Structure formats: structure tokens, C-alpha cells
Chains A and B, each alone.
Chain A
Amino acid sequence: IFFVHRASPSARGLCIPTRAVCDAETIFALSSGHGRCGVAVVRVSGPASSMVLRNMAGLTQALPPPRTALLRRITDPKSKELLDRGLVLWFKGSLEGVRPAEAGEFTRRAFHAGKLGLTEVEGLGDLIHAETEAQRRQALRQMDGELGRLYQDWSYRLKRCLAHVEAFIDFSEDELIEDGVLNQVDSSVRQLETEIERHLKDERRGERLRTGVQVVIAGATNAGKSSLLNTHRVPPSRGTTRRPLVEREGVRRARQRVEQADLTLVVVDSTQLPPDPQLVAAFLQQHLSTVLPSPEAGMTAASDKVLLVLNKSDLVPEEQRERTEGELRERPGLPPACFLSCSTSTGLEDFLTVLQSRVKTLCGDPLSGAPSLTQARHRAHLQQSVQALNQYHQYRDQDLALAAEGVRLALTHLGRITGRVGAEEILDIIFRDFCIGK
């Protein structure tokens, strides 16, 4: 497609043919087909087209000449929130010769043209597959290079560490290179280790956002698992992925599932609860211990990865339900419990609010704080990088060549994300930071 050929790969086209139409209404459509694709072409047609262009592409002054593409930030016309970046252009005449690209075509072209770093490409991959709002935001952030910038910063600092160790090895016997250089490297390496480790400890939040939250619905036969799933027909707006039901028969498999899940909804038939509200907590605790894996597996009843759904609330007397709710409110050792009726939808709103906040916590709010890992590949390289830095400390006083090897290795692993670092780049830093003679 002609207008994205040499442009930012992130570009989605907003292409506005102001074809003379007699219809008074302005229409718009996604003309690049539905589903996942790298470039979306949105066509707007009708008298208000220029207004759309002005409002959504920030072209308040004047429109560009026809058939001229501009890279713009495309914003929500009301909230002005950034939706995407993309090319906009408009036509007076016909649209002949325009064809939407195949899925991923532009990504591949941009990558092969050397226009994109690996982080950016992965970010674009996420954008292609972004179904939910939060995912879309995270992908956009990565495209803008926030994650890339974070890794580049580490790479830059690691390069400096390596350059200074190498300078100490290659030049300290002939040139004036203070011993203090190595002490600085020591603390820089420690700082980097801490930062990368902290980043790794984000509990897979970014990955979850990318692959979706794994939710398991567990419970006894007839507790209402299927009903819950069917009720929960609202689009998976917060990135949830439906998981097959877990029936009691496959208990072991079920537990395994629960262990791997990001969030478990334990469905309990309210009519099976002890009528005495004071006994309910103990009953639920007992019930959870049969459904959930053992605490050693890292999952306790109090874990914030569990929600209790007390289904069939419409079949329980209202007074009993209220008293039970009071008993269960913020009960230590028990996950939050929601009464709900799948058949009448009573309590569904409250349940969804709780669910939403849980998922948000699990994914992290992509608009604040440090960007999370979006790719398991990054995680692996970062882990190897930290391990390699360990070797630096291990050999620092024993054998500087082996210690330097640790920093080199760490940079190699990081380089698998940010790009390879050659010896010349290290020498650039050495010659810049130290006065090295002939």
C-alpha cells in the first residue's frame, strides 16, 4: 500500500476520500478487514470528513494537500487520549490503486529495512494482537520505545562498565587510569543488577497483559460454573481469557490448572452453605482447601489470586445472605466473596467491579510505573544477563579477565534484545573517557 511504504511501521492509515456523495451523512468503516492485522485503514466518507481529520489528527490549521500523507497522532476527538499514531491523507478523486496490506506485511518490511529494533518489532506484534484497551495502551507505549529506552539505558550503562574494565585491562599499565575506575564499575554493576532484578520481579504483569490473564473457574458439580461463564458474556474487556471448566472428576488436572492460573474463581452453591452465618467462614475455608492446591504450592486461600463466587444467591433468603455477607467481609484468611445469581444477574455488577480491579492489579496499569516485560524472551535474556553480572563480582579480585568476561556476557545477553555491541563501540567509550596514547 503506497502510503506506508517508507513510513513508521506503526502507521495505521486514516484515509479520507472526500468523494462527492449526495448522502448528507458521513460514514466511516474499517476497510482493511476485521481481525488482527498490522495496518488498519479507516475510510471516512462524506461532508464531515474534513472535520474528522481536523479533530482526530490534530490538523486544526489547514488540511494537507490532497494525496499527501502526514504522520499524525490520532486522538479520541472528545477525550483527546492518544489512540495511535498513523498516516492520514485525503483524496478528491477515486481510490484506485489502493490496496490494504496483508497482515504483518509492513512490520516485516520495516524490520527488514532495518527501521525497527527488536523491541519495537515485538511491540508491534503486540499491537497487531491487541484486543483489549489495556493491551492496546501497553503496545503503544512499547512502540514509542519506553521499554526500548529502558533496555537501551541499561545497555549504555553496561557498555560503559565494560569499557572501563577493558580500559583498566588494556591500558592501566601504560596510561594514567586510576584504580578508582574499578570501584565505580563495582557499584554500577550492582545498581544494574538491582534494577534488572526489580524489573524481573514484576510477576509477569506485562506478559499477562500480552497473553491474557489465565482465569480458571473451579467448583463442585452444579455449583454454577457454566452459568457463570455464560453470564460472563460481556466481552473480555480487561484481557481475560476464558478457560475451560474444571470438573471435579479431573481433580488432579484441575489443581494443576489452578496452580498455573493467574486468577481462580471458586464457585460455591449458596444453598449448600451452612444456614448459620457464623459457620460459613469455616465451611468455605474447608471447601477451598479441597479445591485449591496445597499452600506449599504458593497458593493460599487468602491469596489475591482467588475470588469466591457464591452463586444462586436468589435461592437464599435475603436476610441470611446479608448476615453471611457481613460475616465474610474482610475476613482474614479468606478471599473476597461475592454473592451473585447467574440466573437473575443480581450482584453481577458488583462481581465484575471486583474482578476488574483484580485483573488490573495482575496486569499492572500500563499507563503508570515502569514498563513490564511483554515477552518471555526478554525475561530469559535479562535473567541470563543478571547471572553473568554475578560472575563479575565472583572474579573481581581473583582474575579480572574472567570478571570482564561476566560483563561481556551480560552485554551479549542484553544485546539479544537491544542489538549487538561490537568491540569498536567499547573502544569508542574508552578513547572518549580516557586519554590513551599511541
Chain B
Amino acid sequence: MLAQKLHLLRHNVLSFVSSRTGSDFTRRQYDVIVVGGGHAGTEAAAAAARLGAETLLITQKIMTIGALSCNPSLGGVGKGQLVREVDALDGLCGRAGDAAGVHFSILNRSKGPAVWGPRAQLDRERYRQFIQSELLSTPRLTVLEGSVDELLVSQPNPEEPGHHRVTGIRLVDGSHPILSSSVVLTTGTFLSGSLFMGQTTSPGGRMGDAQSCAGLSYTLKETLGLRVGRLRTGTPPRIVKESVDLSLAQLQAPDKQPTPFSFLNTHTRCKPEEQLPCYLTHTTPGVERVVRESVHLNCHIQQDAKGPRYCPSIESRVLRFPGRRHQVWLEPEGLTSDLLYPQGLSMTMPPELQLRLLREIPALHRAEIRTPGYGVQYDFVCPTQLTPSLQVKSTQGLFLAGQINGTTGYEEAAAQGLWAGVNAGRTALSLPPMALSRTQSYIGVLIDDLVGRGVTEPYRMFTSRAEFRTYLRPDNADLRLTPRGFEEVGCVTLRRYKKAVSVRDGLQEALMALQSVALSSTRWREKLGNISLSENKSTTLNGLDLLQYKDVSFEMLASAFPECLSQYFEYSQRLKIEAVYRPHCEKQSREMERIRSEESLSLPSDMDYLSLPVSLSQEVREILDRVRPNTLGAATRLPGMTPAGIIHLLNYVLRTGQRNRHTEHRNRSSQKEGEKGQLCASNIPISQ
């Protein structure tokens, strides 16, 4: 391990001298190669290494590993849930957020703990440093600076489904190939990426970085025959903080007491009083005017014909919702940074017009731009070509994660990266692939949506996408994922596992203690004073029943029964949340069971839907043929799918499945996929 560290250090130092000297210092054979050092790549590399795979991370610039390319923030509603889950599986981004956060707040505080959104503004420098030092200290992980030119593929293993098998990569410098059992591609916006500002375009995936990997693009499209689509995104100009009149904006203070993202942390690196504020301001009619006047000079926005349903830029906002005030958040970029990030002002017009636009906002009337905003267009691989383990269906050992799968956002990238890394590692170690159920995690929802339905616009997580939102809460992500992450997946370290198990046991004890105190409602009223209980006087209620009431806190109960409850004070908030949601989650458990059983019924990947001898409409056949859902569950959620169609499909699969089970190779994969069910088939944690 020390050798590896030194190795990375030497390499890192060397990289300043020459950016292409990598191969001399690397082995020629790895278990897993991860291409890309963003949120997906770093999580993938770290997860594969945690699993026990010898892992190589290749990035164009070691210095940009862990860079926040766009907004200086992490988490939020839906995204915060993803961060908690990545952390529960021992990923990096939660702890990195705790180390780099300079402004913590729980969004949706007033709307119910299931939809609370832990969020933080980040210090870019601290975030990068944390991720880099974390990778540095990860055993079995090597980092190499270089550009991948080609993906090496060979004949598939005939025992497994697929037409190709990945064998490694070759770098741009034309040196010898680096071989591996699996490869994870996390190339972000660099796949045939081009940058847009005003009327000028240039090739690239991020301003200031090297061009994108044309050779890789070619392999994916031509050699592997993967379907790709094109997506667009953008970033706002960065503003010099000193030039902003913050007295004209509304101050947004952070939470007084920062809440860490990570289940391992009790406090954040930034002290409560060191936190920085954000500022809120609004667009004016002048902003709209500048946008309209500059449309003809704005290539990116002109090509917006089949744009996303949401509004990715200020241009699209004012063009689609004219005559309105739009919010602009002025966010700090770090403790020592002299810049502000104007969230909501992503734009692609020429720089001089960007300045004019900014200055139409009162607080920004003297604003100076450090770097202008720009747009990016890039290729993504239609994710319906992936399995729930994020492997390309046609290519054994090739995994994709992040924007290459059509998502947007750090958290979405990190979640996929972690899961792709897990499965790349498992494949290299000859373990069967695994899938996460959408009944168990947002990561499961994310991946199931991607591979089951595909994307037409950059995919972002919302809590409304999760059917079992009241169960998939930020507070219980550790109970949902950590024990399995250790026991079955292998991506969780012992330290975290022990902590999660002790929390689980503690909560379970506390719940039992709460249930053991039972009184009539009259007696509860006497004990707790003025609380309104709807039950009639003689009904007996236990402590858990009582904790469901809005006005009842665990502290109140503990003071009424100090001898048996006071030892559980540390869990008071989690107990309260559990008490409120438990009855609803129990009601949903049958529906969860149904979805899980549909998820575990895999559909053969080579099914000929167009001529299947069952009663299906042509329309449904075409949908199925296009998307090729991995499981019956995914088929059920396809738009346009009819209930009758599902029944016929189910009957057909059950009929033919039984006949073929022992004869055909492809069923090996469905049996393997069946094992993934074990990961999901759990009861609601902390059963009574």
C-alpha cells in the first residue's frame, strides 16, 4: 500500500513535468480500469478497490480529480438522498461534502423528514483535496494521467451473454496496451464534446481542459455499435465577489448547526460560525430584453428545438416563461475564493452580452465576470443498452456511469459510479453482478429508470420519481444499505459496518422499549400534560403509538419514563421519524413485494418482440423492441405498456422460461440476476 501511495505521489509530481509519462510506472494488467476522474470515476475507482480489485484510474489531468466543474454545492431534495445512500455504501462524496462544506442546510425542513434535502455549499479547493487524498490512501488503487485512445475488445466469453468482451485500453501516446478484466467509462461531457459560446464553438468537454477522446467515441459507436444520442448542458459565468453589491440581495443564512452528510461524521470540518451565507436576487425585465436581443448571436440556444422539458439556461427560462421574475442564487465558491457562482444564470450568449445581462440585475449592476458561461454538447450512450449492473449488454466487462448515461448532476454521477465500480470489481473477481431494487434505494430508482426507460433529456433525481418515498428516507439510508453493502456486496468497510449494526441494534432496542411502555390515553395526558390525543380515554397506547403524534417528542417520553428510555437519547430524532412513517411503510410493503418480484423476473435480452407469438399490439411490440427491458418490472413501467400486454408477456416468459431453464446459456445470466434479488428482498429494517 505504501508503495502504491509513493507511486501515486511520484506520478503526481511527475505529471507537472510531463503529462504523458504514465505507462512506465504502471503495471500492464489490472482488474478494473476506470476512465475519468469526476464524480462517477472517483466513486467507481474507490468502490472497485474497496471490493478488493486492483484498480487503475486514468484521467486527463490528475489536478482536476474531484473538481466541481459546475456548481459549488452538493445535495438538495432528492440529490441529498443519493448522497446519503452513496455514503451508506461507503462512497466518497458524503464525507467529501462534510470536509468541504461551507454552508449547510436541510432543505424542506417544514415538509416532512422523508423529503428533507441535506445540502451544502462547497469550497471547491477543499473538495478536490479531500477526494484526491482519499484516493491516495485507498489500497489497490493507482492513478494515472493520460488520455485513452482506444478500448480494446475481443471475442466474448461464450458462457455469458454478449457479442464482445472488453480486454483493456490503449493510451493516446500509442504505448503498449493496459489490460484489465473490466473497464468503467465515466467520460462525462468529453464524448464528442463541443463547447458553445455566442457564435463560436470549439471541441472539448470542459473549458480549459484537453479535447475529448475521439478514439473512444469511435470504438463505442463503430466497433461496439452502441446507439448514442446528443445532450446539452451549460454553466453560468463566474462573478468577482467584490464587484457585487450584496446589500441589494437577500441574505440566506445556513443552518445554525450544520448536519453532516455522512453517517460516520458527527460534525463537519467547517465550524458553525465559520459558515458563509448565500444571497438571493431576481431577474428583471432588462434581463429578458438582453436575452431576446441576443438570440441571433446564440448558437446553443438556437439549436434548442428539441430541448429538455425543464429550463437549463436563463435564455430558455425567459423565452419559455416570459414576463416573470426568476430567482438567482449568489453562492460562495469557497472560504478563500473571491468568486460568486450565480445559480440560475447558466448562459451561452457572447461574453459581452453576458456582462450586459448580469448588469440588468440591481445587485450585479457593477458586476465583473472572471470566466464567462458556456454551453456543452456531448454524446451519451442510450442507457437502455445497459443492464441493471450498468454493464453494456453487448460487451462483457464494459461499464458506463455518469453523464455518459444521460444523467446530470454530481450526485447522480457519484451514485452510478459507485454501482458501476462495484459491478466492475465483482466481474473482475468472478462474482455475479448485482442490482439495487427501486424499492430499496434512490440509486435503484435512478438505475432502473435509466436502463429501463432511457432518457430524452439529462436525467436528474427528484423525490417524485420514487414510489416508496416515505421509506427511502435520508435518515435510514444506513439501515437500508450498509449491512448488505458489507455482507453481500463487499463495498463497505468493517468500520462502517460495525457502526451501522450498532445503530440498528440500538434503534431496535429503543423501539422495543417504547412499545413496552403502555398506558391509557387518560394516563398519558396526565403524564405528558396538555397533548391532544384522538383516541378515547380507555384506549391503551404504547410509547411508539404516542410518538406518532405531532406534539409528542421522544424527549417528552423519555422524561416520563427516564429509567427505560433516557439511554436512547442519541436516537431521539430517528425514533420520532420511524414512529411517524412506520405505519405507512407497512401499508406499502405488499406493493414493494410485488415490484420486487417483477424486478426479479428477467426478460431474455434476445427476445424477438416483433414476432413473439403472444397477443401484443404493434405499438407495444415496438416499444419493447426499442427499449428491451431487462425485467418484467421495467416493462411494466414503460409508457404505452398495457396491463393486458404485461399479463401476456408474463405468461409467455413463465411458460418458455420453464422450458428453457436448463438448456440455454442465457439463463445463466437470469439466474445470476436472480441473485440480485437477495440484495433487495429485505423487510423494512428494524422489524418489531
Contacts and interface: CB of A to CB of B under 8 A. Distances in A.
Q: Do A and B bind each other?
A: yes
Contacts of A174: 76-77, 107, 327, 329, 343
Interface in B669-683: none
Contacts of B112: 395, 398-403
A114 interface: yes
Contact of B108 (A113, A118, A173): A173
A424 interface: yes
A173 B117 contact: yes
Interface in A11-67: none
Contacts of A403: 112
Interface string B221-234: 00000000000011
B499 interface: no
A176 B642 CA distance: 37
A60 to B, nearest CB: 36
Contacts of B467: 423
Interface string A155-172: 000000000001011110
A405 interface: yes
B469 interface: yes
Given A170-B77, A402-B112, A112 B615 contact: yes
A282 interface: no
Contacts of B464: 166, 169-170, 423, 426-427, 430
B330 to A, nearest CB: 14
Interface in B633-648: 637, 639, 642-645, 648
Nearest to B580: A399
A160 B620 CA distance: 27
A398 B576 CA distance: 13
B465 interface: yes
A110 to B, nearest CB: 10
Interface residues of A, number: 40
B639 A175 contact: no
Given A114-B644, A427-B464, A438 B108 contact: no
Interface in B341-367: 343-344, 346
A384 to B, nearest CB: 12
Nearest to B328: A437
B18 to A, nearest CB: 37
B108 A436 contact: no
A170 B462 contact: yes
A435 B463 contact: no
Interface in A410-438: 420, 422-428, 430-432, 435-438
A170 B78 contact: yes
Given A436-B310, A438-B310, A111 B644 contact: yes
Contacts of A398: 112, 550
B350 to A, nearest CB: 21
B108 A112 contact: no
Interface in B454-468: 462-465, 467
Contact of A169 (B317, B325, B463, B584): B463
A431 B311 CA distance: 8
Given A170-B78, A400-B115, A422 B637 contact: yes
A166 B115 CA distance: 10
Given A112-B648, A170-B77, A400-B115, A431 B310 contact: yes
Interface in A107-152: 109, 111-115, 118
A112 B644 contact: yes
Given A112-B644, A114-B617, A437-B317, A173 B309 contact: no
Given A111-B644, A401-B470, A435 B584 contact: no
Contacts of A432: 309
Given A111-B644, A112-B615, A169-B108, A401 B309 contact: no
B495 interface: no
Interface string B104-139: 000110111111010000000000000000000000
A118 B580 CA distance: 37
Interface in B313-347: 313, 317, 320-321, 324-327, 329, 343-344, 346
A251 B344 CA distance: 78
A315 B343 CA distance: 96
B408 interface: yes
Given A114-B617, A176-B327, A399-B111, A424 B311 contact: no
B255 interface: no
B233 A402 contact: no
A425 B637 CA distance: 12
B465 A423 contact: yes
Interface in B68-115: 76-78, 107-108, 110-115
Contact of A400 (B111, B117, B344, B584): B111
Contacts of A437: 310-312, 317, 326, 343-344, 346
B626 to A, nearest CB: 16
A178 to B, nearest CB: 11
Nearest to B647: A112
Contacts of B108: 169, 173, 400
B242 interface: no
Contact of B324 (A114, A404, A435): A435
Given A175-B327, A399-B111, A428 B648 contact: no
B579 to A, nearest CB: 12
B619 interface: yes
Interface in A78-127: 109, 111-115, 118
Contacts of A424: 453, 639
Contacts of B469: 401, 404-405
Contacts of A399: 111-114, 580
A404 to B, nearest CB: 8
A78 B616 CA distance: 43
A109 B643 CA distance: 14
Contacts of B326: 176, 435, 437
A404 B648 CA distance: 33
B325 A176 contact: yes
B550 A401 contact: no
B619 A114 contact: yes
A401 B324 CA distance: 29
A375 to B, nearest CB: 16
A194 B674 CA distance: 47
A405 B111 CA distance: 12
A436 B311 contact: yes
A304 to B, nearest CB: 38
Interface of A: 109, 111-115, 118, 166, 168-171, 173-176, 395, 398-405, 420, 422-428, 430-432, 435-438
Given A395-B112, A400-B108, 5 more contacts: A166-B464, A400-B110, A402-B112, A423-B464, A437-B326
18 contacts: A114-B619, A166-B464, A170-B463, A173-B76, A176-B325, A398-B550, A399-B113, A401-B111, A422-B639, A423-B467, A424-B639, A427-B462, A427-B465, A435-B324, A436-B310, A436-B311, A437-B343, A438-B346
Interface of B: 76-78, 107-108, 110-115, 117, 233-234, 309-313, 317, 320-321, 324-327, 329, 343-344, 346, 408, 453, 462-465, 467, 469-470, 550, 580-581, 584, 615-617, 619-620, 637, 639, 642-645, 648
Task: For the complex of A and B, list the 7 residue pairs with the smallest distance between their C-beta atoms, beginning with the closest.
Answer: A399-B112, A401-B112, A431-B309, A401-B114, A400-B111, A166-B464, A114-B617
